[in-house]
Amino acid sequence: MDILYKVFVEPFVFMGEAPDLLIQTLWEGLVSGVLYALIALGFVLIFKASGVFNFAQGIMVVFAALILVGLYEKGVPAFLALILAALAMLVLAVVVERVVLRPLVNQPDIILFMATFGLTYLLIGFGELIFGGNPREMITDALLLPQGTTEIDALGGSVRIQHLDVAAAVIASLMIGLLAVFFSKTRIGRALRAVADSHKAALSVGISLNQIWVIVWFAAGLVALVAGIMWGARSGVSFSLQIIALKALPVLILGGFTSIPGAIIGGLIIGVGEKLGEFYWGPLVGGGIETWLAYVIALLFLLYRPQGLFGEKIIERI
């Protein structure tokens, strides 16, 4: 009975007793969730256009952030470095399309997936060769990102809001909004959706697959750059950031691999869910549960919606 009380009653009693901590946990979860959503978005863009699960998305986050910081350390002004880092992601997109995707057209999806594994390790090695393995500090001040904390006394306690987290949430939301508009309202966006529906049909109406792939890989590169800046500003830029990208996996399972709203809602559910779980139920098992809790949350959702929250429902008639 004691364990039932600790699982089903005590956490909720504590939520009521310390509502400031509940708000703080929800806020931390939302901020993490937005950043998870941003990373997941990079996966979704590429998966929608090419059916490829881009395992290299995590290292692209690190790579983009390292280029930005590396250029700044070489004396390039921050915003010029930002533009050059974005251009570097464009170059990467072109190279990936030419060297990896184009020669593998019509190969099974698993071959393309494995190619992105290869790309991951290539980028890790290349990145370590150029930038070394040492962690760096994100150029938060130079990019005019706000710093500092606002402590709000409320609900019998206090809630600490980091200005950087607010900026991260706003910038990530803007980025997501812009991408959503771009892909739903523009000609290229419609072409992308056509490619996502059927490569052959898209080709038959004159859409260039190669061009679309470059565009989506570039868009995913830009998303990676923003994610790299935000995560880097929170906890430093190092190669271990790429592991955080794996947090996007449960987000994708939950939200569906092809849905932009799914990536956003999925990111928020996973972010908030894992923080609440770790904070209120983690102590029951000695803590450290958030690593796997995200997958449990995603799998629980899958029991009811196997295609994910917003994934396409596949109906095959035999």
Partner 1 sequence: MSFRKLSLGLAAATMLAGTALPAFAQDSIYVPLFTYRTGAFAGSGTYIADGMHDYLQMLNQRDGGIGGVKLVLEECETGYDTKKGVECYESVKGKNPVLVNPWSTGITLPLIPRASVDKIPILSMAYGLSASARGDIFPWIFNPPSTYWDGLSMIIRYIGEKEGGLEKLKGKKIGFIHLDAAFGKEPVPLLQELAKDIGFEVALYPVAAQDMQNQSSQWLSARRDRPDYMVMWGWGSMNGAAVKEAVRSGYPMDKFYSVWWPSEDDARAGGAGAKGFKMLNWHAVGANFPALQDIQKHVVDKGLSKSPKDKVGELLYNRGVYNSLLIAEAIATAQKVTGKKVVTGEDVRRGLENIKLDPARLKELGLEGFTEQLVLSCSDHNGHRPAFMQEWDGAKWVKISDPIEPMTDRVKAQLDAAATDYAEKNAGWPKRTEPCDNAS
Q: What is the Cα–Cα distance from 124 to 308, expressed in whole angstroms?
A: 31
Distance separating alpha carbons of residues 119 and 99, to the nearest angstrom: 10
Minimum CB–partner distance for residue 294 and partner 1 (Å): 11
Binding segment for partner 1 (CB under 8 A), chosen from 43-51, 88-96, 145-153, 183-191, is 145-153
Helices (H), the chain: 2-8, 10-17, 19-50, 57-73, 78-95, 109-131, 163-185, 187-197, 199-204, 209-235, 241-244, 248-255, 260-276, 290-304
Q: Does 294 bind partner 1 (CB under 8 A)?
A: no
- Interface with partner 1, residue 236, by CB under 8 A: yes
Tokens representing residue 230 in the block: 């935000």
For position 246 contacting partner 1 by CB under 8 A, the verdict is: yes
Q: Which of 61, 179, 241, 265 binds partner 1 (CB under 8 A)?
A: 241
Nearer to partner 1, 97 or 290 (CB): 290
User: Hey, what long-range contacts does 297-303 have (CB within 8 A, 24 or more apart)?
Assistant: 297/250, 297/254, 297/269, 297/270, 297/273, 298/250, 298/251, 298/253, 298/254, 298/266, 298/270, 299/253, 301/253, 301/254, 301/269, 302/253, 302/254
Is 244 one of the binding residues for partner 1 (CB under 8 A)?
yes
CB neighbour list of residue 56: distance below 8 Å, 6 or more residues apart:
116, 117, 119, 120, 123
Residues 21-50 that bind partner 1 (CB under 8 A): 21, 24-25, 28, 31-32
Q: Which of 247, 230, 244, 243 is nearest to 65 (CA)?
A: 230
Confirm or reject binding of residue 97 to partner 1 (CB under 8 A): no
* 259 φ, ψ (degrees, to nearest 5): -115, 120
What minimum distance in Å lies between the beta carbon of 253 and partner 1? 17
Q: Does 150 bind partner 1 (CB under 8 A)?
A: no
| Contact flag: residue 240 with partner 1 (CB under 8 A) | yes
Q: 274 near 290, Cβ under 8 Å?
A: yes
- Select the residue interacting with partner 1 from 109, 121, 122, 137 (CB under 8 A): 137
18 binds partner 1 (CB under 8 A): yes
Give whole-number Cα distances, 37 to 33, 74, 203, 249, in Å.
6, 32, 31, 10
- Contacting partner 1 (CB under 8 A), which of 251, 275, 298, 308? 275
**Candidates 86-94, 208-216, 243-251, 302-310; binding stretch for partner 1 (CB under 8 A):** 243-251
Examine residue 118 and tell whether it contacts partner 1 (CB under 8 A): no
Least separation in angstroms between residue 25's CB and partner 1 is: 6
Rule CB under 8 A: say whether 133 interacts with partner 1.
yes
195-234: contacts with partner 1 (CB under 8 A): 231, 234
Among 2, 74, 108, 151, binds partner 1 (CB under 8 A): 151
CA neighbor of 145 nearest in space, from 88, 66, 82:
82
Does the footprint of partner 1 cover residue 128 (CB under 8 A)?
A: yes
Question: Counting contacts by CB under 8 A, is residue 291 touching partner 1?
Answer: yes
Contact 265, 255 (CB under 8 A): yes
Question: Could you list the residues that contact partner 1 (CB under 8 A)?
Answer: 18, 21, 24-25, 28, 31-32, 124, 128, 132-135, 137, 147, 149, 151, 160, 162, 231, 234-236, 238-241, 243-244, 246-247, 274-275, 278-279, 282-283, 286-288, 290-291
